[in-house]
Amino acid sequence: MKTHAWRIARVLVLAAFAAFAAVQVAHAQTPEGTVITNTATASFTDANTNTYSNVSASVSITVGFAPGVNISGAASVTPAAPSTADTLTFTLQNIGNGKDSLQVSENISVAGVITVTGYRFNGTTYATLALLNTALHNAQLLQGASETVQVIYNVNAGKGGVSTNYSLTDSSVRNPATTASATTAINPVQVHAVAVTPDGAQLLQQLPTNAAPAYSFTYSVVNNGNGPASFNLLASHPGTAITIVTVNGVAGSSTSIGPLAAGASQNIVVTYTLGNVAAGTKDSLVLKATDTGDASKFDTGFADLTVVRPSLSITKAAYLDDQVTLISGTVLPNQYVQYKVTVTNNGAAAATSVSVTDAIPAQLTYISNTNVGGAWASINYAAGTVTATLSGSLAPAASATFWLRVQVK
């Protein structure tokens, strides 16, 4: 029982001490200059109970200056980017025990995000901290009094989503070592936007790749947002002709880029092959860019193409030796005949390595040839066969002609 009672008593004592301490903290500091007088009085009698006048002694002490400052402001703000004439409001307080003036200094954690343009105090806007501090120095604060300072700033272009911390520190003029600080996180709102170009209308006409190197097409990806952003890229095609090889030098159909500064662009090269499909097959090469900070913001660009091939036709006609009159009837032994051989490209792509072979029948004797317009690199006769090889390529809708002169045996 004694032990239990002792524990209860101990708890009560501790609670009383805590309450006393809380009261002491809540009390304001004794003002500077206060004179505190303490008097001690002694009373006494003698052995025969005679009474005497009390005697006393007093001593006085004067309270000196104890500096104290405080400052408060918003924990964070989210201004637009860019924006002008935004404000941060700070409350400066003298929590010392006497009159004092305050001075301030600032720190910005990430340079370039904001530009401070002025400071507002007591209805006046000051262009510099030095001018503000002169005004603050002249504005003495009584014990417990406070004053408000507004920091005016702009959020710079291209800084959406780029955060910085603005810290304002106040200090006592009477004791500069006494300071307090408040920090506001400035988080400019980021707007996401992207554009990918071009958007079709190229009307590309390309051959099946076969063993040739892959084709390439270049897109432009532009960050149209108000801050730095990265993008996921995806190349695709709705048809069957295209096979994607690389995107921006990375094998496969996807990769990522960034960050790109606001307003900046990057060229993206997509390489691809075309399969062995029929002439006239259509397909589109599509590039999609999606903002990694907001997947709802994306854009696509595309190139439309058609698979083309050359398509040759050949005609041969028999003329009299004048190369003008078509033979419509019979020919006689020892008569000369001129064969006109014409190759035409009816396709949409140039034909290369064009070669014509013509086996001369045994009843004819080869005499000579005529290379019309010099289109043929060579026309040779050997072992009963004429072989003509075209010089260069045969463009779409173009024709090349040569004549063969023979004699009927």
Domain containing 137 — which CATH number? 2.60.40.10
Residue 285 in domain: yes
Tell me: do 113 and 163 sit in the same domain: yes
Tokens representing 147 are 């004053």
Q: Where are the beta strands (DSSP E) in 43-173?
A: 55-62, 69-73, 76-77, 83-94, 102-108, 114-121, 124-126, 146-155, 164-172
Residue 293 in domain: yes
Tell me: do 331 and 279 sit in the same domain: no
Q: Is the pLDDT of residue 56 over 50?
A: yes
> Hey, what amino acid is at 271?
T
Residue 398 in domain: yes
Tell me: do 264 and 342 sit in the same domain: no
Tell me: do 168 and 227 sit in the same domain: no
Q: Where are the beta strands (DSSP E) in 159-311?
A: 164-172, 179-186, 194-197, 204-206, 215-223, 229-236, 242-247, 250-251, 254-260, 265-274, 282-291, 298-307
| Final residue before a domain boundary, out of 255, 276, 307 | 307
Tell me: do 284 and 326 sit in the same domain: no
Of 121, 191, 130, 120, the closest CA to residue 153 belongs to 120
> What pLDDT, on a 0 to 100 scale, did the predictor assign at position 27?
55
Tell me: do 386 and 278 sit in the same domain: no
Tell me: do 113 and 147 sit in the same domain: yes
Q: Is the pLDDT of residue 24 over 70?
A: no
Tokens representing 98 are 């006497």
Q: Is the pLDDT of residue 2 over 90?
A: no
Neighbours of 324 (CB within 10 A): 8
| Final residue before a domain boundary, out of 186, 203, 218 | 186
Q: What is the mean pLDDT of residues 252-268?
A: 97
Q: What is the mean pLDDT of residues 177-199?
A: 97
Are 131 and 53 in contact by the 8 Å Cβ rule? The answer is no
Of 265, 268, 292, the closest CA to residue 195 belongs to 265
Domain containing 374 equals: 312-408
Tokens representing 99 are 């009159």
DSSP state of 360: P
Task: Output the CA angle 387-393-395, nearest 5 degrees.
Answer: 125
Tell me: do 205 and 113 sit in the same domain: no
Segment holding 37, helix H or strand E: strand 35-42
Q: Give the pLDDT band (50/70/90) at residue 202.
A: confident
Q: Give the pLDDT band (50/70/90) at residue 47.
A: very high
pLDDT more than 70, % of the chain: 93
> Hey, what amino acid is at 279?
A
The CA-atom distances, in angstroms, between 238 and each of 232, 265, 380 are 19, 26, 49
Interval 346-391: pLDDT, tens = 999 999 999 999 999 999 999 999 999 999 999 999 999 999 999 9
Residue 345 in domain: yes
Interval 216-253: pLDDT, tens = 999 999 999 999 999 999 999 999 999 999 999 999 99
Q: How many domains does the chain have?
A: 3
Cα distance between residue 189 and residue 78, in whole Å: 6
Residue 27 in domain: no
Q: What is the mean pLDDT of residues 27-40?
A: 91
DSSP state of 348: S
> What pLDDT, on a 0 to 100 scale, did the predictor assign at position 285?
97
Tokens representing 259 are 């960050």
Residue 8 in domain: no
Tell me: do 73 and 182 sit in the same domain: yes
DSSP state of 335: -
Q: Give the pLDDT band (50/70/90) at residue 15.
A: very low
Ranges 27-31, 255-259, 351-355: which has the least confidence: 27-31
Q: What is the CATH number of the domain that holds 375?
A: 2.60.40.290
Task: Give the strands of the sheet with 215-223, arranged side by side.
Answer: 194-197, 215-223, 265-274, 242-247, 250-251
Tell me: do 206 and 288 sit in the same domain: yes
Interval 138-186: pLDDT, tens = 999 999 999 999 999 999 999 999 999 999 999 999 999 999 999 999 9
The mean predicted confidence, pLDDT, of the chain is: 93
Tell me: do 385 and 320 sit in the same domain: yes
Q: Is 210 left (phi over 0), alpha (psi -120 to 50) or beta?
A: left
Neighbours of 376 (CB within 10 A): 22
| Final residue before a domain boundary, out of 123, 155, 186 | 186
Tokens representing 181 are 């600080």
> What pLDDT, on a 0 to 100 scale, did the predictor assign at position 7?
45
Interval 88-107: pLDDT, tens = 999 999 999 999 999 999 99
Residue 36 in domain: no
Tell me: do 321 and 245 sit in the same domain: no
Q: Give the pLDDT band (50/70/90) at residue 28.
A: confident
